[in-house]
């Protein structure tokens, strides 16, 4: 459970929230509308927001997955794709598309843009904020779409759904598989069941979870640099909310209490992370050159170099993905007493 904030720290975070909301308002000028279909958003419809660049490989399954879950409308920022992603998105009848050539890093890795769009269109809606390589699953998701999940969350007075980002990886070397669409878990069938460690950060009132495959394979000598794996992908949005650190934490800080990490009792999900599809080695080189994904990109040069060398992530402790029930048994998600009714 999240610790209580001191009065001084609570005041500091309120001031920070106001600054970040104002920052997002200023950043709206970096966005150009390509297709605005937001007039078609139904009352109470569940919305999905994402920022992406060059994700044509993932988009068909991403949309198939989230449409099946019951997303009513997608609001997308394309950050200068040159692989046909923007044209594909603009042609989708349930997508409103904005584009920008501005710096992803300077927009706080896209969250300034998304914060503005969520304030403008998401107020009062349950909203997903996910990356194109993240597929949210949760207890009973095959038979109980998102409206049933959000009803269960509302009944628990739980304003957000927390999730562990679970890195999926192939049997063989990275980049050696064929993939032309379809379920990415067929190409990325393995994951690390643990260890995962979670700790609360009192200063910003947020959780910090690390571990899993990338920590093991790329950050064993310096685990503090390993990726942050806790996310809050589904939130009942208010224009007063703001993303503090990507989708890892929110302000007001009480929203972060919706997720206590792996093994906790509250209703939670898992984001299946498809980063390691076969384009990963080329993307690692491209992202290293663009230097847009970390506050100090040069510090992560060794990580990009290691990924580009196409290592084998599979090891004796790898587990083959079979479904959400398996992840619940492993303590990586929880139904929180929800039987799907």
* Beta-sheet strands, E only, within the chain: 32-35, 47-52, 73-78, 95-99, 126-129, 134-137, 160-167, 190-192, 196-201, 206-211, 230-236, 242-245, 249-251, 268-273, 318-320
CA distance 227 to 212: 9
Q: Tokens in use for 191?
A: 């994951």
1, part of any domain = no
Q: Whole-angstrom Cα distance, residue 124 to residue 150?
A: 13
The answer to whether residue 166 is domain-embedded is yes
Output the pLDDT for position 297: 53
pLDDT in tens, 179-228: 988 999 999 999 999 999 999 998 888 899 999 999 999 999 999 899 99
Interval 78-88: pLDDT, tens: 999 999 999 99
Does any domain span residue 2? no
Cβ atoms of 224 and 205 within 8 Å: the answer is no
- The answer to whether residue 335 sits within a structural domain is no
User: For position 283, what pLDDT does the model report?
Assistant: 78
Contact call for residues 104 and 51 (beta carbons, < 8 A):
yes
Asked if residue 292 has pLDDT above 50, the reply is no
Q: Tell me whether residue 95 is in a domain.
A: yes
Q: CA–CA separation, 248 vs 297, rounded Å?
A: 19
Beta-carbon contacts of residue 298 (< 8 Å; ≥ 6 apart): 291
* Residue 298 pLDDT level (bands cut at 50, 70, 90): low
Q: Is residue 311 in a domain?
A: yes
pLDDT of 99-149, one tens digit each? 999 998 899 989 999 999 999 999 999 999 999 999 999 999 999 999 999
Q: Tell me if 70 sits within 8 A of 46, measured CB to CB.
A: yes
User: How many whole angstroms separate alpha carbon 110 and alpha carbon 100?
Assistant: 10
Place of tokens 């200023």: 26
Q: Is residue 334 part of a domain?
A: no
Residue 293 domain-assigned (yes or no): yes
Return d(Cα 79, Cα 53) in angstroms, integer.
5
* Domain extent for 115: 7-329
pTM across the whole model: 0.95
Dist. CA 129–CA 120, nearest whole Å: 14
Question: How many domains are there within the chain?
Answer: 1
Whether 291 has a pLDDT exceeding 50, the answer reads no
């Amino acid at each position: 459970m999240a610790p209580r904030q001191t009065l001084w720290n609570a005041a500091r975070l309120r001031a920070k929230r106001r600054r970040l909301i104002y920052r997002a308002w200023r950043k709206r000028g970096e966005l150009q509308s390509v297709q605005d279909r937001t007039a078609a958003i139904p009352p109470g419809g569940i919305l999905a927001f994402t920022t992406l660049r060059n994700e044509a490989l993932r988009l068909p399954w991403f949309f198939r997955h989230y449409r099946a879950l019951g997303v009513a409308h997608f609001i997308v920022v394309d950050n200068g794709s040159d692989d046909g992603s923007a044209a594909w998105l603009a042609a989708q009848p349930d997508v409103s598309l904005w584009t920008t050539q501005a710096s992803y890093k300077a927009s706080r890795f896209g969250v300034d843009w998304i914060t503005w769009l969520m304030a403008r269109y998401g107020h009062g809606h349950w909203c997903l904020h996910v990356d194109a390589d993240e597929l949210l699953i949760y207890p009973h998701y095959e038979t109980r779409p998102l409206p049933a999940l959000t009803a269960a969350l509302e009944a628990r007075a739980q304003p957000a759904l927390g999730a562990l980002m679970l890195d999926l990886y192939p049997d063989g070397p990275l980049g050696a598989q064929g993939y032309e669409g379809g379920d990415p878990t067929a190409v990325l069938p393995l994951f690390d069941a643990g260890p995962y460690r979670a700790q609360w950060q009192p200063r910003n009132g947020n959780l910090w979870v690390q571990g899993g495959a990338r920590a093991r394979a790329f950050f064993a000598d310096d685990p503090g640099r390993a990726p942050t794996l806790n996310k809050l992908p589904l939130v009942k949005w208010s224009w007063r909310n703001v993303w503090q650190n990507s989708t890892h934490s929110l302000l007001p800080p009480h929203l972060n209490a919706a997720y206590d990490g792996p093994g906790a009792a509250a209703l939670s999900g898992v984001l299946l992370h498809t980063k390691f599809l076969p384009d990963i080695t080329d993307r690692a080189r491209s992202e290293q050159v663009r230097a847009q994904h970390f506050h100090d990109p040069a510090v992560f040069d060794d990580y990009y170099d290691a990924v580009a060398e196409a290592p084998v992530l599979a090891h004796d402790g790898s587990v083959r993905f079979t479904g959400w029930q398996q992840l619940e048994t492993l303590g990586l998600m929880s139904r929180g007493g929800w039987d799907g009714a």
